[in-house]
Amino acid sequence: QAGDPDPLVNTVNMTCGVEGFPNVLEESASHSTNLFQPSIAFDKSVSANLSKVGDAVEYSLSLSNTSSPDTPDLNCSISDPTLGVDKDVTLSSGGSDLTSVSYTFQAGDPDPYNNTASVTCSPTGFPNVLTASDSESVNLFQPSIAIAKTGDDLSKVGDEVNYIITLSNNSSSDTPALHCTATDSLLGAIFSGVL
């Protein structure tokens, strides 16, 4: 039970009297059971929490055997179906395993992009199962620009032609600032700055 001393010492005592005699026989026997403490630590991290379709991020899955030193080796299965991770590892007390996986965001990926990895571990020779999971969320922004140009439809040599050039930042609101330059084939540089 939780709270039992480690090691757990258990003693049995036996007392016998001989019928018709005053003698008393006494005997005892003890047994000590070493109680180990299995435990794990599992962490998932990502190289960026802001990204976009077409870009890659690095996920890291870190598993540590934080069990007491007398714990049998842990046999573990690490799973992250979205990233294609399905691996088995055996870790002694104090051991660790690091899995790194690159993922490139695809069109149609949900925004935010939530992803969960999980692990199950059992001490060698015991049926106990330790479980852990960890998630990461990546916000996917959508950068988008538009340009429109209108001008006089009719003119002649020697007359001025007036143009209206509209530059638009149509990105999602969570998109970082866009640093833009715009040049015109006749007018040259017409804009350089943040949209």
Residue 183: predicted pLDDT = 96
Distance CA 147, CA 114 (A): 34
Residue 16: predicted pLDDT = 95
**Secondary structure element (H or E) that encloses residue 121, with its range:** strand 113-123
Residue 172: predicted pLDDT = 94
| Long-range pairs, 54-58, Cβ under 8 A, ≥24 | 54/104, 54/105, 55/104, 55/105, 56/102, 56/103, 56/104, 56/105, 57/102, 57/103, 57/105, 57/138, 58/100, 58/101, 58/102
The token pair that represents 78 in the structure block: 């690490």
Tokens 């866009």: give the residue: 178
DSSP one-letter code for 81: G
The token pair that represents 81 in the structure block: 């179906």
Q: Return the exposure string of 67-89: e unless at least 16 CB atoms fall within 10 Å of the residue's CB, then b.
A: beeebebbbbebbbeebebeeeb
Residue 104: predicted pLDDT = 97
- Tell me the per-residue pLDDT of 135-176, one tens digit each, with 9 for 90 and over: 999 999 999 999 999 999 999 999 999 999 999 999 999 999
pLDDT profile of the chain (195 residues), mean per 10: 91 94 94 94 97 97 97 98 96 98 96 96 96 97 96 93 95 94 94 93
According to DSSP, the residues that pair with 45 across neighbouring strands are 60
% residues pLDDT > 90 (the chain): 96
Residue 10: predicted pLDDT = 94
Residue 59: predicted pLDDT = 98
The residue type of 27 is E
- Tell me the per-residue pLDDT of 122-135, one tens digit each, with 9 for 90 and over: 999 999 999 999 99
Residue 26: predicted pLDDT = 94
pTM: 0.78
Tell me, rounded to whole angstroms, the distance of Cα 150 from its chain centroid.
50
DSSP one-letter code for 87: E
